[in-house]
Amino acid sequence: VCWSGETRSDHARGRHTSPARHIRRVSPDQQTRVLMSFALSSAAAASVARVSSKATLRGRSLRAARSNATRPVRAMAVKAEVNQLKDGDKKGLVDSVETFIFDCDGVIWKGDSLIEGVPETIAMLREMGKRLIFVTNNSTKSRAGYLKKFLGLGLEITAEEVFSSSFAAAAYLESVNFPKDKKVYVVGETGILEELDGVGISYLGGEADGDKKVTLSPGQLMEHDPDVAAVIVGFDRNVNYYKIQYATLCIRENPGCQFIATNTDAVTHLTDAQEWAGNGSMVGAIKGSTKREPTVVGKPAPFMLDYIANKFDIRKDQICMVGDRLDTDILFGKDGGLRTLLVLSGVTDEATLKSPENEIHPDYYTSKLADLLTIKASVNA
């Protein structure tokens, strides 16, 4: 804009004249409008300059923040100490407890193969007067079935020393006085059925529904037994849509129907060649369809530990839990106030144990159960 009396050449060369010098050439109203316009233009220019300055500063701050974010962070978190079991620690650990609770899969065996040195370690601990208890989350066998497996692998174990999650499910129902006139629907295998027989509880489902299929037609309604007052979900190699739907109907439509999970393990050792999808996949399907959380009776839930401690009258601080999983075995021990020993012969490897993301830390860790045998060598030396 050229002021009155200002030539375009003056304006182009930047030789602007004062507005006051030329206001006399316009009317009073025009003078007011011109002054207000000039004031607003000056304020706007100043505001733009301030915003630009702030934006520049913010830009520098953001660039600095991004730069700092890429630099290694030091001393942001204290890494928990993870103690490897040394020869000097072993006898002290064994002497400090009277009972050892062992997980089975990944500690005693993998699949159907015994882990090296286990028979000798069990024999040594018995010679030292320790009570031994074997606990497994695998519900496919009953306690009698697991005893048969132990004996078949050459391990001298008694039925009283074996606790499975299939047994825990039946013991739980017995502990809450499950009505004898009600039934249980089972997603699972023979281990759960045998344990329910042992406490006189009626059931349906299980292996009998392994081959059943759902054939849909318009308006089809799937019937279910209204007398089912509990659904037990255990590991089931023949799980199918029929079983999932039947369990869902019982839990959602039968008033007060309990939802019980033997465990929620992500994986299991069906063979020693690889890991296989665990019971968590079966439980997850029914959690999703019912929007209900189950009562878990296996590790790391406290039910089995409380049952064992009461049965044998054992102080929990006199027990050492030995397992291969952080989120079941070691958490089971830590939550229960037990000493804990992680073995790396199963699910958990050393990298996972020492990962910054891991928040579950055993008292000690070692490569396998047989590492305890150096106690015997040192005593005999």
What would the pLDDT profile of 15-26 be if each residue is shown by its tens digit?
444 444 443 444
Name every residue whose Cβ is closer than 8 Å to that of residue 40 and which is 6 or more positions away in sequence. Answer: none
Q: Residues of the chain whose pLDDT is less than 50?
A: 1-26, 31-32, 34-78
The number of C-alpha atoms within 13 Å of 190 and in the hemisphere containing its C-beta is 5
- CA pair distance 315, 338, nearest whole angstrom: 9
pTM: 0.76
Per-residue pLDDT at 272? 75
Which residue of the set 6, 98, 120, 275 is catalytic?
Answer: 98
The token duo for 78 is 């204290």
The verdict on whether 81 is a catalytic residue reads: no
Encode the chain in three state secondary structure: CCCCCCCHHHHHCCCCCCHHHHHHHCCHHHHHHHHHHHHHHHHHHHHHHHHHHHHHHHHHHHHHHHHHHCCCCCCCCCCCCCCECCHHHHHHHHHCCCEEEEECECCCEECCEECCCHHHHHHHHHHCCCEEEEEECCCCCCHHHHHHHHHHCCCCCCHHHEEEHHHHHHHHHHHCCCCCCCEEEEECCHHHHHHHHHCCCEEEEHHHHCCCCCCCCCCCCCCCCCCEEEEEECCCCCCCHHHHHHHHHHHHHCCCCEEEECCCCCEECCCCCCCEECHHHHHHHHHHHHCCCCEECCCCCCHHHHHHHHHHCCCHHHEEEEECCHHHHHHHHHHHCCEEEEECCCCCCHHHHHCCCCCCCCCEEECCHHHHHHHHHHHHC
Per-residue pLDDT at 2? 45
Per-residue pLDDT at 196? 98
- CA pair distance 203, 180, nearest whole angstrom: 11
User: Strands across the sheet with 99-103, in order?
Assistant: 162-164, 131-136, 99-103, 319-323, 339-343, 364-366
Per-residue pLDDT at 73? 36
Q: What is the pLDDT of residues 235-290, one digit of tens each?
A: 999 999 999 999 999 999 999 999 999 999 998 878 778 889 999 999 999 999 99
Q: Which amino acid is at 329?
A: D
- CA pair distance 340, 124, nearest whole angstrom: 19
